[in-house]
Amino acid sequence: MDTIAAISTPYGVGGIAVVRVSGEEAIETVERLTGSLGSAKPYSVRHAYLRRGDEVLDEVLVTVFRAPHSYTGEDVVEIACHGSLYIQQEVLRWLTDAGCRTARAGEFTERAFMNGKMDLTQAEAVADLIAAETRAEKDLAMSQLRGKVSTELNELRERLLHFTSLIELELDFADHEELEFADRSELRALSHEIETRLSALIASFRTGNAIRNGIPVAIIGAPNVGKSTLLNALLGEQRAIVSDIQGTTRDTVEDTLILDGILFRLIDTAGLRETHDTLENLGIERSLAAADKAQIILSVTEMGKETVNYQPKEGQQLIKIYNKVDLLMPDERMNLIDGLCISAKHGVIEQVKNKLVQIVRASLNTGGVVLSNQRHYEAICRAHEAIQRVEQGLEDGLSGELLSMDLQDCLTALGEVTGQISSQEVLNNIFSKFCIGK
Ligand SMILES: Nc1nc2c(ncn2[C@@H]2O[C@H](COP(=O)(O)OP(=O)(O)O)[C@@H](O)[C@H]2O)c(=O)[nH]1
Ligand SMILES: [Mg+2]
């Protein structure tokens, strides 16, 4: 294996920059430029000068990690130099002059995966962690990095593997048809359990994916109830036009909002009513389309006005909101107990914010694992289909041979998620999206 080197801090001038070196020659190579590191205690930081002959490049701090106790599992040296662009690039050049090769994107993490320091879901979590822009995104990546997804899948896979080998054993004794090493009722129970857990994971992707892209929230209701005013109040800016003319909002207006570390995509829509205005009707169509795609629906109404009857789709949450309560007498408010009472115009909307956060937190705190990666989602859907075929096969009294094919399909799909089974193409695809130096 080559010894690789890269600047791990972002391109640009900073207080310091970190140049990372990994591989068999890492310590020796840096030693040649700084003097002895051999006496450095592991995990200690050493002060040194980078020098070649008479030339002193920089005053640096050098951290030595010895294999296998390092990020990559190889010998690793991290050089913290001054963050001048010239110095950073010279440090890298000196290292390549001394025999290192510049690292490809993600190559440090790829080595960590190859050396068994982490599985594929964890390696992917490293990229997600670096890309995280909100706390919820960071939390998801962190839980994946700590192995939550892999632990869940490995456990299911182990147990399924046990049964598959018993069934394959039966196939070896095909002459004795009556032999059944794998207890069918136990296999049925296990398949059912796996099916349920995979379904839950698949369902969690809706939230996991939304956390990364923003949870879509559609504001719907009759014209003039204050939808646009609510959007503006939530955003804290005049984003949508507000007026007392019905049908002011004709197209959907969208903007993002971060509440308690969660990214929401708020979508204000045209008021829903019967109209012959072609443009307005187009707007209404878009409103309904936006509502269908949303994960949370804020259904706004005001007392005395009709409520739009929107039937939430599967997985959607509907929050009923009464606006303009400032116009009501206290005893009139008492009757509005089936929704949140707000006054968008006067900024009395805290309840809406709290409810939004509460809904998302509840869907994250189901104790289970939340999927957020498209690749994992697709593989788990395949595993789920396979285990459903196993269940059906058991129901139909299918032969061990046919059962074992579906079991294998399920095992393969699960193994692909964690990287127990992986192709170079998949790995290239994953690691090429990393930053250089990680
Ligand atoms: N009194 C009162 N008026 C409001 C409130 N929210 C909105 N309005 C008014 O209701 C009218 C319609 O508001 P708008 O946001 O355009 O409604 P939309 O058609 O549902 O988007 C405007 O004149 C707003 O100023 C509120 O909380 N209290
Ligand atoms: Mg409007």
Domain segments of the chain as ranges = 4-119, 135-210+373-419, 214-364
95-109 average pLDDT score: 96
Q: Which residue has the tokens 């006054």?
A: 343
Residue-wise pLDDT for 211-248, tens only, equals 888 999 999 998 899 999 999 999 998 877 787 777 77
pTM: 0.79
Instruction: Label each residue of the chain as H, E or C.
Output: CCCEEEECCCCCCCCEEEEEEECCCHHHHHHHHHCCCCCCCCCCEEEEEEEECCEEEEEEEEEEECCCCCCCCCCEEEEEEECCHHHHHHHHHHHHHCCCEECCCCHHHHHHHHCCCCCHHHHHHHHHHHHCCCHHHHHHHHHHHCCHHHHHHHHHHHHHHHHHHHHHHHHHCCCCCCCCCCCHHHHHHHHHHHHHHHHHHHHHHHHHHHHHHCEEEEEEECCCCCHHHHHHHHHCCCCCCCCCCCCCCCCCEEEEEEECCEEEEEEECCCCCCCCCHHHHHHHHHHHHHHHHCCEEEEEEECCCCCCCCCCCCCCEEEEEEECHHHCCHHHHCCCCCCEECEHHHCECHHHHHHHHHHHHHHHCCCCCCCCCHHHHHHHHHHHHHHHHHHHHHHCCCCHHHHHHHHHHHHHHHHHHHCCCCCHHHHHHHHCCCCCCC
Q: Ligand 2: distance of its center to the CA of 15 in Å?
A: 49
Ligand 1 mutation pick, 232, 235, 241, 242, max ligand atoms within 8 A of CB = 242
pLDDT tops 70 at residue 140? yes
Q: What is the mean pLDDT of the chain?
A: 89
Q: Which of 219, 229, 243, 306 to mutate to test the pocket of ligand 1 (most atoms within 8 A of CB)?
A: 229
396-435 pLDDT tens trace: 988 888 899 999 999 999 999 999 888 888 898 899 888 8
Residue nearest ligand 1's atom 12 by CA: 224
- pLDDT of res. 290: 84
- Banded model confidence at residue 366, pLDDT cuts 50, 70, 90: low
pLDDT of residue 406: 95
How many Å lie between the centroid of ligand 2 and the Cα of residue 222?
Answer: 9
The domain defined by 135-210+373-419 folds into: Four Helix Bundle (Hemerythrin (Met), subunit A) (1.20.120)
Q: What is the per-residue pLDDT for 176?
A: 66
CATH architecture of 4-119: 2-Layer Sandwich (3.30)
From the CA of 345, how far away is ligand 1's center (Å)?
A: 7
- Measuring CA to CA, which residue among 163, 157, 128 is closest to residue 142? 128
Domain 214-364 in CATH 3.40.50.300? The answer is yes
Ligand nearest to the CA of 305: 1
Instruction: Grade residue 39 by pLDDT with cuts at 50, 70 and 90.
Output: low
> Is pLDDT above 90 for 273?
no
In angstroms, what CA-CA distances link 112 with 23, 42, 71, 117, 120? Answer: 11, 19, 6, 5, 10
Taking CA atoms only, the protein residue closest to ligand 1 atom 8 is 226
- Mean local confidence (pLDDT), 299-313: 84
Bridge partner residues of 6 (DSSP): 20
Ligand 1 cavity residues, CB under 6 Å: 221, 223-229, 242-244, 248-249, 271, 323-324, 326-327, 343-346
